[in-house]
Structure 1
Amino acid sequence: MTTPAIEVVDLVKNYGEVSALKGISLEVARGEVLGLLGPNGSGKTTTVTLLSTLQRPSSGHARICGHDVVGEAARVRELVSLTGQYASLDEGLTAVENLAVFGRLTGLRGRELKVRIDELVEQFDLGAERDRRVATLSGGMRRRVDIASALVTRPEVLFLDEPTTGLDPRSRASVWDTVAALRAEGITILLTTQYLEEADRLADHIVMLNRGSVVAAGTPGQLKQQVGAAVCEVTLVERGDTARVIDLLDGLELVEAPEDGTASGAQAHPRLVVRAPDGMATVAEVIARLRGAGIDVVDIGLRQPSLDEVFLQLTETAS
């Protein structure tokens, strides 16, 4: 049986009378991306600092590639790398100079260091920026250099602690591409984030934390199923058709509709939502009923629950 890249069992971290982690357990297979989700104060960053040996747990244990984070801390540090919420770069140095500094700190010298820097420059598409001072780079490019710096020694496990915090959508998408490429290379990644779309796109498995405890764990699809079946959304052309359509959908579970059934107010095209336990079969049934009655629609489709809905429901339940 293959040893997990990350194994955490009943991990507790107390700061005086405050419990930052209350006995969490999780496991990450080699080469996978785990998304660690939770609001501020949920314990995400504390988990990362414990796993990267920056702090010691109060109780419980954790292993990286089979090595205990307390008893074999020196070995664990050889296997992992970490990028925090803010790029840890010297803004007065160029991108390549920053890479060189991190390389020397990890023991690389001479030709070996130069070859590794050239590999990272190519891998992260930094050719045009290699000789520019970090202070002049965009947020997304700085983050790329920061992640490249964390990979100088080719870690087995990479911790990315909210890597896209404060980035614009274009820069965030660039970091997402970088993370996907690292996963394709077989690097195990623990990604903490508050952006549920980010976890949905990148993570193989997700662990949701709230107030230091695990409130849910599974694949994105499994977690979405916890809040119920998919829904069929119908957007009508005519506001006056709303009440008639509600009657036509009799027998189906109506989840959302204009309160007075007439789509009054600012909503130009009224939207109705029904539960779709049979997926596309439910959508086909709705289409048949509307077509038979001559009702025109702007749009109709099947929508799965979002991770936002999962997170809100589970954290409210756990509060």
Structure 2
Amino acid sequence: MERLSFKSYFKQYGKRIANNTLLFVLAYLLVFYAVQAVTVFGAFTHGVSVKIYTSCIDFDSLNTAASQDVWASPDNVISVFGMPIMAIVLLATIATLLLSKWKSRHIQINRFLWWIVICSFVRIGSNFISGHLFHLWNINLVTDFLGITFPSQAGKYLFLAFIVILIIVGFYCSASLTKHITNPFGGRISDEITSNLLIPGILGCIVLNLFFIPYKPVFSYTEVFCTGILLVGIVSISVIVPKRYSFVEKSDKPMNDDPRVNPVILTVVLTMLVVIKIVLDNGLLLQTSPYRNYFLENMLMIVGISILVVFAAYLVFYWKRRKQQEAKQIEKMVEEFEPLKHIIPDEQWGVKKYDVSKYKDDQD
């Protein structure tokens, strides 16, 4: 099979690469801000004021006596920082089940779910590792959350080594899920992995690191470390998967998935990036009062009302769309039967013509 030049390769697969890069960026940001949202929810409902930035949550600048009392309790630490872990595990589990059991006909949905699985376990692992390697936490979450490392440092390093092993196992298992987003028996598995996963992964990591600049309020290695782990994992997958299907004879047949850039995905991603950058670059303050104790009720009410509004909007949209589809079907049926009106006799339509002229004469 003839090897394409760099220019020819991007000319042939450029739209496919752009589409999958958007899917990766969207999945990464979905997982990242899901962690941020659940963490903020846990902190806010415990009476801790926070300031949300594009790349992190600032707990220190709004540190008060009330918030110090909150962090002094290990139970509160578990509640605030344990919820994001459970949320991401649940998100990854749902994405895996949908990818392997639901088997959507839309290949782009399957790839989006695959990226969510990858980003989810890398997010958990990279947050634990970078938080301890670069001392990003004032509270030792391994000690307070797991209670297994105090007072020796050896337990912490053993735990971090265990996290690294889990990440490696996660990438190895994710390589098996590529059969749901590629055609491994089509003879083009290497090209599919390169154009759909490897190059979009590299470009997506560059875009994401540029997106988080200027890293307010302070620079953090967390996202750089996370994207670095993702790159290593994607490169490993791009090596493992073709070797698994090396017995398949290579083919020159073109790949049959849709390479077009989805305009809906493009609009959603670009709009989301612009809004997040504008709103969060200068910080979004969520301030609570230590003298009030109904934060949780207020948050649940806001979330509940938001869900109802979204659900009502969906119902209206679904109803209008259904009416439009019914109108199109009726119009199509009328167009199909219109030529038959002059061919089929009236008796076959169930309508019989009567001569009513004699009745008119009698009336006269």
TM, length-normalised to structure 2: 0.22
Structure whose alpha-carbon radius of gyration is higher: 2
TM, length-normalised to structure 1: 0.24
Higher RCO by CA contacts (8 Å cutoff, separation 6 or greater): 2
More strand by share: 1
